[in-house]
Amino acid sequence: MNKQAVILALATLILTACGSAPQRKVETRSPPAPVEDRAVGTPAAPAASAGGGYLAGDGPGADAPANLDAIPDAVPKSEPLHRYANRPYTALGKTYTPLTAAGNYRERGIASWYGKKFHGQRTSSGEVYDMYGMTAAHPTLPIPSYARVTNTASKKSVVVRVNDRGPFLHERVMDLSYTAAHKLGIIGNGSSEVEVESLAPDARVNTLAKADTVESKPLEKAELAASPTPPAASAAGSNVYLQLGAFKSPEAAETFMAQMRAKLGDAGKQLSVFLKDGLNRVHLGPYANQDAARSSAEGLKGKLGFKPMVNLR
């Protein structure tokens, strides 16, 4: 009789375990690398463990693309929220309630990155994680949604698409893809202080390195063009161009030009760098006249996320 009772109890336990909701495996990264305390100029105290900025077995891949800097940032767009990934959930004993609307959230904290150990695995959205894409994991931002992430030390910014949950340890605010971390300059440290800003689907973003960016005045209103007008073949010899960006260093200009070529396709062949007044200006053109350039600028606004300005050489 006692033996039967034990068997029944064990069977009940097994059925209960099988019937419970499966829990997402929580990653347990090592403590992030020390981050410089910008207020006093001294290193922050390291965590108790001397581990690196990522899990054992994780790290950069052996076949990383050679043009990581040319991989374009994510572009905010309207997407339906995932059916399951935005429900309240519990990880490591803490309950998280995801947000249901993007664009009204900003925080500052430590971000790190995840790489080859998770490359090719499913994210919380069900999508396959690509460490060379521009994505990120966050505990509560809507899935999917978009965020601007700024390295508070270098002021470099990127825009990522949030499609995964985490991190849950050491009070980190975000886990970035390998490429996003590379573009922010935090691969070597394993982690760094960042500012995370949630972006609305229709947000206009400019993700250039803020230290090198030169803001331009908005152009006067022009008639909306259905599509960007490519530089006219008859514009040879013209001095009318569209300026997409201006930088102090030629390296920053070349990097940005590569990003723009990826977005513009065939039209990107008309991009060039022009040095003027000590700035390396990324130009598209030439155009037959200023009206043609303005019309093209309106059409390019939706594709690039910003409106280029007319510039004369």
Extents of the domains making up the chain: 65-203, 233-312
pLDDT of residue 281: 87
Residue 287 pairs with which residues in a beta bridge? 240
What does residue 228 show for φ and ψ, rounded to 5 degrees? -60, 135
Mean pLDDT of 9-20: 43
Give the predicted TM-score (pTM) of the model. 0.53
Q: What is the CATH number of domain 65-203?
A: 2.40.40.10
Q: What pLDDT score was predicted for residue 250? A: 83
How many whole angstroms separate alpha carbon 244 and alpha carbon 308? 5
Q: If you write DSSP's letter for every residue of 132-178 in order, what string do you get?
A: TSSEEE-SSS-SSEEEEEEETTT--EEEEEEEE----STTEEEEE-H
pLDDT of residue 297: 86
Q: Is the pLDDT of residue 193 over 90?
A: yes
pLDDT value for 204 = 60
User: Residue 280 contacts by C-beta under 8 Å, 6 or more apart in sequence?
Assistant: 246, 247, 248, 249, 250, 252, 253, 273, 274
Range with top average pLDDT, 12-16, 238-242, 262-266: 238-242
Please say whether the dihedral angle defined by the alpha carbons of residues 78, 84, 88 and 90, taken in this order, is positive or negative.
negative
The 309-312 sheet, strands edge to edge: 271-276, 279-287, 240-247, 309-312
Give the pLDDT of residue 2. Answer: 56
According to the model, what pLDDT value does residue 142 have?
Answer: 96
Q: Determine phi and psi for 97, rounding to 5 degrees.
A: -115, 105
Residue linked to tokens 């102090």: 248
Residue 221 neighbours by CB under 8 Å, 6+ apart: none
Q: What are the tens digits of pLDDT across the range 242-291?
A: 988 887 888 888 888 888 888 888 888 888 988 887 888 889 989 888 88
Given this model, what pLDDT does residue 157 score? 94
Superfamily of domain covering 233-312: Sporulation related repeat (3.30.70.1070)
| pLDDT value of residue 278 | 80
Q: Do domains 65-203 and 233-312 have the same CATH topology?
A: no
